[in-house]
Amino acid sequence: MSISKRESWFGRLAWVLALLVVVVALGQLPLTVQQNPPVSLGAWASDLAWGVAIPSLYAVLAALIINRQPGNRVGWLMLLVGLAAIIPTATILGTIPEPSTFTPGIWLLAAVDNWSWVPLIFAIFLIPLHFPTGRPPTPRWRWVNWLAVGMAVFFIALISLVTPLGPFDESWMLPNPVGFIPLEWVNGPFLIVWGIGLVTVVGASVVSLFVRFRRGSAVEREQIKWLLFAGAFLVVAYALTFYLTSPDATSDAWGNLLLTVAILALPVAIAIAILRYRLYDIDVIIRKTLVYAALTVLLALVYFGSVILLQGVLGTLTGIERSPLAVVVSTLIIAALFTPLRRRIQDWIDRRFFRKKYDAQQVLAQFALTARDETDLDALTAELVRVVQETMQPEQVSVWLRDMNSPRV
C-alpha cells in the first residue's frame, strides 16, 4: 500500500470512529437521563455536555487533524479521548438487575467499567508531550510514553484481578472468580505508587512542552501558545468552580457551564494550532484576556471599596446605613476610571509581555509626529525606511516614488 493510500485510509478510519463516537454518545443520552433524571436545567446541560458535546468534539476535531496529518499522534490521542469517554459499560450495567454471581459477560462489563477512564486520562496527559508535531521533543523523552503505557497496562491487569469486584460506583460487589488481590492493598500501598507515577507522567509532559517552546521555531512557539492559553483557561475555570461554588444551585450551574466551556476550548485550541488556522491571532487573544481580566479585578476592588467607604461616611453623616447614593457615586467612579485604567494596564502589559509590539507602537507614534512636521522629502523617506526596518525587520527595504512631473501614460 502506497503512502498516499495509507494516509487516505487512516483519514477515513478516523472519520468512521468519530461518527461512531457521536452516534454512541447520542444513543446513550436517553438511557443516562432515564437512569439518573436531571433535577434542574443545569443538570440537563451537564449531561448533554459531558455525555455528548465533549466526546463528540474531541472525536470530530481529531478526525480533522488525522485527515490532514495522519502521522500526528496528537490527533490519535484526541480520538482516544473521545472513544474512551463513550464506553457504555456504566449505562449497560445500569439497565440490568443486580446479579447474584458473575457470568463472563457481567464480569467483563464490571472490569472494563473500573478501568475505562484510564486510557482517557493518559491520552490527555500525553498530548503536551507530543504537541504540536506529534512526536516528543527528542528521543530521550520517549520514556514518558513507555511509563504511561506500562502504568495503564498494569492498572488494567490489577483491577481485573482484585477481589471483590463490582461497578465503578460500587453499587454492588461480588467475589471475583479470577481475583486474588485484596482490595485493601489496592486502596493502600498501590495508591501511593500510582500517585507518584501520575505526577511523573504529567510533570514530564508539561516540562517537555516548555522545553520545546524554548528550543522550537517561531511557528511552534505560536502553536504552543494556543495550548498554554487553553490550559490556563481550564485551570482557572476549574479553580473557580471548585473553590467558589456555593450551595446555591444556580451558582453551581454557572460554574459547571464555565468548566464545560473551558474543557471544550482545549480541543478547539489544539485543532487551531495544528491546522494553523489564523495562528498568530493568539497574541491578540492573550493580550486582550490579560488586559480585561486585570481591569475587571481592579475595577471590582475599586467599586466594592468605594461602596463600603462611602456607605460608612454617609452613614455617619446621615444616619442611613445603606445609602443608594454610595452605589451611584461608586458607579460614576468606575465609569470615569474605565478608559484611563484600561490604557495604563494595556501599556504595562505590552511593556512587560509584548515588548516588541510596544516598541513598534512607540516607533510608529514617533514617525507620525515626524511625518506631520517634516517637509524634506529625502529626510521623510529615510525615516520611513528606518521605521519599516525597525518594526517589521524585513531583509530588504525599497521606496519607490513616482515623479509627479512626468507625463502619465
**Domain ranges in the chain?**
291-353, 359-392
In eight-state DSSP terms, residue 407 is P
Reading the block at residue 60, the C-alpha cell is 470530530
pLDDT 10s digit of each residue in the chain, 409 long?
555 677 788 888 999 999 999 999 988 888 887 877 776 666 777 778 888 888 999 999 999 899 888 889 999 999 999 999 999 998 888 888 888 888 999 999 999 999 999 999 999 999 999 998 899 999 999 999 999 999 999 999 998 899 889 888 888 899 999 888 888 888 888 888 898 999 999 999 999 999 998 888 888 888 888 888 888 888 888 777 766 555 454 456 666 777 888 888 889 888 888 887 555 555 566 566 666 667 777 777 777 777 777 777 666 666 666 666 666 777 777 777 777 777 777 777 666 655 555 455 555 666 566 666 666 666 667 766 666 666 555 656 666 666 655 555 4
The per-residue pLDDT for 118 is: 92
User: Cell 530588504 appears where?
Assistant: 396
Contact at 8 Å (CB) between 155 and 115?
A: yes
370-379 own/partner pairs: CB under 8 Å, 24+ apart: 377/401
Q: Which of 234, 290, 237, 240 is nearest to 265 (CA)?
A: 234
Q: Do 64 and 12 contact (CB within 8 A), yes or no?
A: no
| Dihedral sign of CA atoms 351, 354, 359, 364 in order | negative
- Taking each helix axis from N to C end, the angle separating 249-275 and 54-68, rounded to the nearest 10 degrees, works out to 0
Which amino acid, 269? A
Of 256, 343, 224, nearest to 294 by C-alpha is 343
User: Which residue, 177, 173, 181, is CA-closest to 100?
Assistant: 173
CA 371 – CA 218 distance, rounded (Å): 33
Report the predicted TM-score, pTM, of the whole model to 2 decimal places: 0.70
pLDDT of amino acid 223: 87
Distance between CA atoms of 287 and 264, rounded to whole angstroms?
A: 21
Q: What pLDDT was estimated at residue 320?
A: 60
* pLDDT tens digits, one per residue of 319-377: 666 666 666 777 777 777 777 777 777 777 666 655 555 455 555 666 566 666 666 66
Q: Report the 10 Å Cβ neighbour count for 155.
A: 18
Beta partners for residue 182, in sequence order: 163
Decide: residue 135, CB within 10 A, 0-12 exposed, 13-18 middle, 19+ buried.
middle
Number of H helices, E strands in the chain: 16, 2
Can you give the C-alpha Rg of the chain in angstroms? 29
pLDDT, position 409: 46
